Amino acid sequence: MEKRILGKTGLEVSPICIGGWQLAGPLAFDGQPDGHPDPGKSYVLRLIRELGALGINFIDTAEQYGGGESERRVGEAVQGERNKWIISTKFGYRVGPDGERDNSSSPQRITPSLEGSLRRLKSDYVDIYLYHCAPALSELEQGRDVLEQLVRDGKCRYYGISTGNVSLVQAMIKLEMIDVVQFPSNLLKDAAEMRTLALAHNLGTQVRGVMAQGRLSGRYFEHQPQWRADDNRSRADNADDYRQYAVLQTSLPLGCTMAQAVIRWTLGQAGNHSICLGAKTIEDYRDAIVATEMPALTQAESERLEEGNDYV
């Protein structure tokens, strides 16, 4: 698989990044689901290893996912081949000692969070360390000092943030404390301003939410999804009829499934380096890999897809 340069980090990453949230199993806060149905540990280990053999070398996780279970599974899956993988993890959202939601990305929490992640990942370092919980602007400089020390200590190579907040990213750019930004963007709601900002400052980018929680996958064009009670999507507003997005099928380039067209479109947007895909099956990942090897969409094909949104 052809790799892409992740902005100023210089890291060579696959255009598809494995999303670790969906592979961690269920989690609940205050009686509300914040995870996904568990595909099973042995299945996840096999999936990650098979995807590595297919050329994917990028994986994203977080200390919160599955209460740390995602990191534990990732660590076990890549053991013995750690140098072949680019691992991104996140801090700030976590499970408290009594199972409560504990949100804080204060400077004092950064190092303990990373130490915990390293233990679970069975690694001496992470390649990319991201704020998961938005930091207070007043704490950015102190946070930068902590993160820079972790870089000097060899415990993380690069750092940044997962956010859709352009103003926050601008503040971090001003303080020269961001190498990578992970942000939500898709055909229905393109984060053009964030992409432009990242491109202007040569930030590495991880794009999440490209299937818009399944709306653009093509899987629900004929029927509404029925989420399990332990799936975080069961909390969403079910008034949105997923079948309305079937109109986009009329705009598909020849030979593309809906999901493949979405992937090609996303990777064709200037500033987008890698897609953090929340798939759970080897088949979905194989289809995504095929999409990365397809010719780039022509301007006319991209415009037809974009114009299809007018009918949704």
Q: What CATH number corresponds to the domain at position 25?
A: 3.20.20.100
Q: Number of structural domains, the chain?
A: 1
Q: What average pLDDT score do residues 274-284 get?
A: 96
Give me the phi and psi of 221, to 5 degrees please.
-70, -20
* Residue 134 DSSP code: P
pLDDT per residue as tens digits for the range 149-178: 999 999 999 999 999 999 999 999 999 999
Amino acid at site 266: T
- State percent of the chain over pLDDT 90: 91
- The rounded distance, in Å, linking the Cα atoms of 288 and 297 is 15
Range of the structural domain that residue 150 is part of: 4-311
Give the DSSP H/E element, type plus range, for residue 130: strand 126-131
- The rounded distance, in Å, linking the Cα atoms of 42 and 193 is 40
Task: Output the CA–CA distances (angstroms, integers) from residue 299 to 90, 253, 264, 296, 302, in the order listed.
Answer: 35, 11, 12, 9, 5
pLDDT, residue 118, reads: 98
Q: Which residue has the higher pLDDT, 7 or 32?
A: 7
Grade residue 238 by pLDDT with cuts at 50, 70 and 90: low
- The rounded distance, in Å, linking the Cα atoms of 208 and 3 is 18
From the list 207, 191, 205, the residue with the least C-alpha distance to 8 is 205
Cβ-in-10-Å burial (0-12, 13-18, 19+) of 120 comes to buried
Q: Is the predicted pLDDT of residue 199 greater than 90, yes or no?
A: yes
- 93-95 vs 101-103, strand pairing mode: antiparallel
- Angle, CA of 243, 248 and 249, to the nearest 5°: 95
pLDDT, residue 236, reads: 77
Q: What average pLDDT score do residues 263-292 get?
A: 97
Q: What average pLDDT score do residues 49-75 get?
A: 97
Q: Is the predicted pLDDT of residue 237 greater than 70, yes or no?
A: no
- 28-29 vs 16-19, strand pairing mode: unpaired
Tell me the three state secondary structure of residue 18. strand
Q: What average pLDDT score do residues 195-224 get?
A: 96
- Catalytic pick from 65, 159, 220, 285? 65
The reported pTM is: 0.96
pLDDT per residue as tens digits for the range 28-52: 887 889 999 999 999 999 999 999 9
What is the chain's mean pLDDT, rounded?
Answer: 95
| Axis crossing angle, helix 69-78 with helix 107-121, rounded to the nearest 10 | 50
pLDDT per residue as tens digits for the range 93-133: 998 888 888 999 999 999 999 999 999 999 999 999 999 99
43 catalytic per annotation: no
- Whether residue 261 contacts residue 290, with contact meaning beta carbons closer than 8 Å, is answered with no
pLDDT per residue as tens digits for the range 244-276: 999 999 999 999 999 999 999 999 999 999 999
pLDDT, residue 235, reads: 85
